[in-house]
Amino acid sequence: MQAEAIANHILDVASETATALTQMQVIKLAYIAHGWNLALKEKPLFDDPVQAWDHGPVIPDLYHAFKSFKKKPVTSKAKIFDIVDGKLQLTEPSINDLDDNERAFVDQLIRKILSSYGHLTAWQLRDITHMPGTPWHTITQQYEAEIPKKLQIPNELIMKHYKDQLAANLKAS
């Protein structure tokens, strides 16, 4: 699964409630969904790497897909180059390629992420991903001056964090 398909589904679900999202919000929500998927299913939601940038975890392909919107709401879906009928074309990836059970799970997960985090601003989401103990914080705290470019956050670290969050939530309820 490509991160663009997840981002596009986030935009689709958000549009059902007329919720406008900035590129930073879309990226952070995709990252959070990825983390919860790792915790719940022990497999990545998408194949794209997650990198530690100054403003938290970033999926570079999503950043590049939406960077032209800057701080304005994203008004079009992510597109990728794909081969359709033997021709190179721009397409909008979607979760429709998943089987029915997996598509239903991903849809439910995205809806839960949006109901839990979709009301938060880009900067609030950034702050959540910067908190001590988060994968971004853990991987970047060893660098005093500047985070190296293309520093990846391993899925194992993301999964551990969200499994810890899941355990804490279960314990609290």
Determine the straight-line distance between the first and last CA of the chain, rounded to whole angstroms. 33
> Distance (Å, rounded) from C-alpha 2 to C-alpha 85?
20
Mean pLDDT for 63-71 is 95
Query: What total of structural domains would you count in the chain?
Result: 1
Its domain, for residue 30, covers: 3-172
Tell me, what's the pLDDT at 88?
67
Question: 28 pLDDT exceeds 90?
Answer: yes
pLDDT at 23 over 90: yes
What is the reported pLDDT for 40? Answer: 96
Alpha-helix residue ranges (DSSP H) falling in the chain:
3-16, 23-41, 60-66, 100-117, 122-130, 135-140, 155-172
- pLDDT value of position 49: 97
DSSP letters for 60-87: HHHHHHHGGGTTSBP-S---EEEEETTE
Regarding predicted confidence, which is higher, 26 or 86? Answer: 26
What number is the average pLDDT over the span 125-129? 96
- Which range among 27-31, 126-130, 141-145, 156-160 shows the weakest confidence by mean pLDDT? 141-145
What tens digit of pLDDT does each residue of 113-125 get? 999 999 999 999 9
Per-chain mean pLDDT for the chain: 93
% of the chain at pLDDT higher than 70: 97
pLDDT of residue 50: 98
Residue 160 Cα distances to 40, 42, 72, 75, 156, angstroms: 11, 10, 33, 34, 6
Instruction: Count the Cβ atoms, other than its own, within 10 Å of residue 124.
Output: 13
Examine the pLDDT at 90 and tell me if it is beyond 80: no
Model-level pTM? 0.93
For range 73-83, the mean pLDDT: 88
pLDDT of residue 84: 67
Asked if residue 37 lies in contact with residue 44, where contact means CB atoms within 8 angstroms, the answer is: yes
